[in-house]
Structure 1
Amino acid sequence: KGEVTLNTLSRILINSTFGLGGLFDHATPLGINQQTEDFGQTLGHYGLNPGPYLVLPIFGPSSIRDTTGLLADAAARYFYLYTPVNFDDHLDRSSAATLVWAVDVRHNLRFRYYQTGSPFEYDLVRFLYTKNRQLEIEK
Structure 2
Amino acid sequence: MKTTTSILSLRGFALAVAAGATLLAGCATGPNANPADPIEPFNREVFRINEDLDKGVLKPVAQTYVDVVPSPARTAVSNFFSNAGDVYSAVNNLLQLKGTAALEDTMRVAINTVLGLGGLIDIASDAGLPKHKEDFGQTLGVWGVPSGPYIVWPLLGPSTARDTVGFLVDWQMDPLTYWHDSAITYSLAALRVVDVRANLLGASNVFEQAAVDKYTFLRDAYLQRRRYLIYDGNLPEDQDNKTSPDTGDTTVSPYHRFTPNWPVFRR
TM value normalised by structure 2:
0.40
State the partner residue of 1:102. 193
TM-aligned CA deviation for residue 3 of structure 1: 3.8
> Match of 1:94, as an amino acid?
T
Q: Name which one, 1 or 2, has greater alpha-carbon Rg.
A: 2
TM-aligned CA deviation for residue 7 of structure 1: 2.7
State the partner residue of 1:8. 105
State the partner residue of 2:139. 42
Query: Are 2:151 and 1:54 equivalent residues in the alignment?
Result: yes
**With CA pairs under 8 Å and 6+ residues apart, which has the higher RCO, 1 or 2?**
2
Q: Closer, same or farther in 2 for the Cα pair 1:80/1:93, shift >3 Å?
A: closer
TM-aligned CA deviation for residue 21 of structure 1: 8.9
* CA-to-aligned-CA distance 1:22-78 (integer Å, 9 cap, x gap): 765432112212222112111211111111112223332211211222222222226
Q: Kindly tell me the number of residue pairs found equivalent between the two proteins.
A: 130
Choose which of 89, 94, 115 in structure 2 pairs with 1:19: 115
Question: Distance between the aligned counterparts of 2:208 and 2:117, measured in 1?
Answer: 45
TM-aligned CA deviation for residue 129 of structure 1: 0.7
> Match of 2:159, as an amino acid?
S
State the partner residue of 1:121. 214
Q: Closer, same or farther in 2 for the Cα pair 1:67/1:101, shift >3 Å?
A: farther
Q: CA RMSD in A?
A: 3.1
TM-aligned CA deviation for residue 20 of structure 1: 7.3
Unaligned segments of structure 2, at least 5 residues = 1-97, 233-267
TM-aligned CA deviation for residue 103 of structure 1: 4.1
State the partner residue of 1:91. 182
TM-aligned CA deviation for residue 125 of structure 1: 1.6
TM-aligned CA deviation for residue 9 of structure 1: 4.6
Q: Closer, same or farther in 2 for the Cα pair 1:71/1:28, shift >3 Å?
A: same
Equivalent residue of 1:62, what SS?
strand
Identity among equivalent positions (%) equals 33
TM value normalised by structure 1:
0.69
State the partner residue of 2:228. 135
